[in-house]
Chains A and B, each alone.
Chain A
Amino acid sequence: MKQSMGVRLWRWTIISVVALYLLVPLYAMFDFSTKPFGFADKGRTFRAWKMITEQPDLWPAISRSLITAAIVMALILFLIVPTAIWVHLKLPVLRRPFELLCLLPLAIPAIVIVVGIAPLYRWISINISESPITLAGVYSMLILPYTYRSLSAALDAVDIHTLAEAATTLGATITRVIFGIIMPTIKTGIVNGSFIAIALVLGEYTISNILNFKTFQVVIAQIGRTNGNVAVAVSLASLLFVIFLLLIIPTKKRQGTVLDVDVA
């Protein structure tokens, strides 16, 4: 279809304004992180980028955040997904309450959850562990709405009742039906959910900062107080890492589910 002059003019004006808004800060991060600092260097320098490796708190924080993300994914795989399938298969009465429970975090901002959960984490750090990895518990609840959306769409698209019936007739146990038959068929939904889990855990600041846990974001903020250039370099690096993740996870229709927070 040939576009008229007016449409094309409008289109390019909008694209340039928005692109300028979104891309200039990203370029500024690159510019800022390669600026000379101290007295030794002139012109461009990658000293800030090299100094990323010398941050004592950073690597433990990254590995802890990645472990937390892995635990959140395990909770999705072995607790949330099986429960969703169970409810679909065996307890249709509970579908609506289950949905409401999963969408509840949408109505409760993270800053409010942290107020309510502070006593629980005080108890956990005294009696169980002081490790930030315990945050996996509350993180897995924060992503419930997104996990639920991608799961229920996937479960509705497949006729899991017939699958379950066929498998049971052939002698499969219910565990095998859930993990061996149904979960492989809704793989895409699960992969989407896992991607959100990684993005959320690596980007979470509110809860960990208030509860005094040194997660990835909290450490970046801490570096920023002493050395801005390095903090900007780390931020840009982690942004590139997330884009890289997005590119290597080969799923179709990911864009729709990442933020499809449709409660209706």
Chain B
Amino acid sequence: MTQLQYKGTGSATGRTGSRYWRSKSAYLGVLPFLLFSGLFLLYPTWNVVSGAFKDNYGKFSSKVLLEVFNSSVARHAFANSLEISAKTAIVGAILGGLFAWAIVTGKPGGVFYKISVALSSVLAQFGGVMLTFAFLATFGFNGLVSTLAVKYLPNTFLADSTWLYGKTGLSVLYTFFQIPLMVLVFLPTLENLKPQWREASDALGGKAYEYWLRIGIPILTPSFAGAALLLFVNSFSAYATANTLINLSDFLTPLEIATALTSETGGSNPAEAKSLSLFMVIVVVIVMGLYALLRKKVSKWEQKR
């Protein structure tokens, strides 16, 4: 009897467990993980979300939240964060998408393919302290490019490294890790494009640009947009690079949060940090929600192969 039931459960989806497996004591098995994640994941999340509606003495009030919402400093930092994330997401998505196309049009599984993919997976994680040093060594005072520029192009912006320590510089740094991330996310999509579509288009007399305009681009748009949303979240959440490059505490929201939390002048303000964090989480949740919707659309053709 039980043997027969097991046959029914043999599906990979695991939807149908037999009654034998579903005893109450099974719930004890997830208890250690639940305790652990409760401590290190659910508690901090709850702490931030509920803390945003409290003042620094633990009383419920929306005062701090409203203060942060109306503060011009906070709004400025938030606008900077959104602007840099949007710009680097778009530039990174375009450059990374084109590079992914260049990889796909090469020999599949060739040396260039392998090197590009391996390097991308390393460089996509290469944010933070080390990235800052790489760009200081390139464009900073006494860096490789700026030294050359001082010699040969003394009147261009390259000769004067101050641009590096602002919005432009930060965007250039962020784009550095956005491109490889885009390659990793978008490459599988391009590889899944069916060659038969191109052949059909060619056989019916379509030109190359017509194929891209009418078939390629429309079909790739949802996954491209989805990937761009991922890149947006990626730079919106970034803290380490900005922290090591510029020491302006109110320049970006993550920097502002860190200052509110650890202020060295003694004015630490956890309630403000939590309110700012809540606004960040709201943006990320909205963007990830859009991403999930887009992925659903994509998976219809991408996964049914």
Which residues does A use to contact B, with CB under 8 Å?
Answer: 3-4, 6-7, 11, 14-15, 17-18, 21-22, 24-29, 31-33, 35, 75, 79-80, 83, 86-95, 98, 101, 104-120, 137-138, 140-141, 144, 156-162, 165, 199-200, 203, 205-206, 209-210, 217, 220-221, 224, 228, 231-232, 235, 238-239, 242-243, 246-247, 254-256, 258-264
Contacts and interface: CB of A to CB of B under 8 A. Distances in A.
Contacts of B40: 117, 120, 137-138, 140-141
Given A112-B280, A161-B6, A239-B130, A31 B262 contact: no
Interface string B206-242: 0010000000000000000000001001001101100
B181 interface: yes
Given A112-B277, A140-B40, A256-B188, A205 B284 contact: no
Interface core residue of B48, B102, B296 (most chain A CB under 10 Å):
B102
A21 B281 CA distance: 31
A121 B139 CA distance: 38
A90 B134 contact: no
Interface string B174-203: 011001110011011000000000000000
B137 A79 contact: no
Given A24-B145, A259-B181, A261-B230, A235 B39 contact: no
A90 B280 contact: no
Contact of A228 (B123, B133, B291): B133
Interface residues of B, dominant DSSP: helix
Contacts of A258: 121, 124, 184
A262 B295 contact: yes
A246 B122 contact: yes
Contacts of A200: 125
The 6 A-B pairs of least Cβ separation, nearest first, read: A116-B44, A264-B295, A109-B237, A32-B137, A235-B130, A28-B144
Given A112-B281, A113-B44, A120 B16 contact: no
Given A90-B29, A113-B44, A137-B40, 13 more contacts: A14-B99, A25-B135, A27-B144, A28-B144, A31-B137, A79-B36, A86-B29, A90-B26, A109-B254, A116-B44, A120-B39, A144-B41, A224-B244
Contacts of B298: 264
Interface stretch (B67-75, B112-120, B149-157): B112-120
Given A25-B176, A221-B129, A259 B14 contact: no
A107 B134 contact: no
Contacts of B137: 25, 28-29, 31-33, 228, 232
Contacts of A83: 29-30, 32-33
A235 B99 contact: no
Counting contact residues on chain B (CB < 8 A from A), the size range is 35 or more
B185 A259 contact: yes
A19 B123 CA distance: 12
Contact of A242 (B16, B46, B106, B122): B122
Interface in B64-99: 95-96, 98-99
B199 to A, nearest CB: 11
B10 A161 contact: yes
B138 to A, nearest CB: 4
A32 B144 contact: yes
Contacts of A33: 137
A16 B277 CA distance: 40
B299 interface: yes
Contacts of A160: 14
B12 A159 contact: yes
B22 interface: yes
A255 B29 contact: no
A6 B233 CA distance: 35
B57 interface: no
B26 A235 contact: no
Contact of B128 (A22, A92, A217, A261): A217
Contacts of B291: 263-264
B6 A165 contact: yes
Contacts of A22: 119, 123, 176, 179-180
Contacts of A25: 134-135, 137-138, 176
A117 B47 CA distance: 8
Given A7-B105, A28-B145, A261-B230, A116 B45 contact: yes
Contacts of A3: 105
B258 to A, nearest CB: 6
B261 interface: yes
Interface string B269-281: 0100110010011
B178 to A, nearest CB: 11
B124 to A, nearest CB: 6
A250 to B, nearest CB: 13
A156 B281 CA distance: 31
B125 A255 contact: no
A260 B244 CA distance: 28
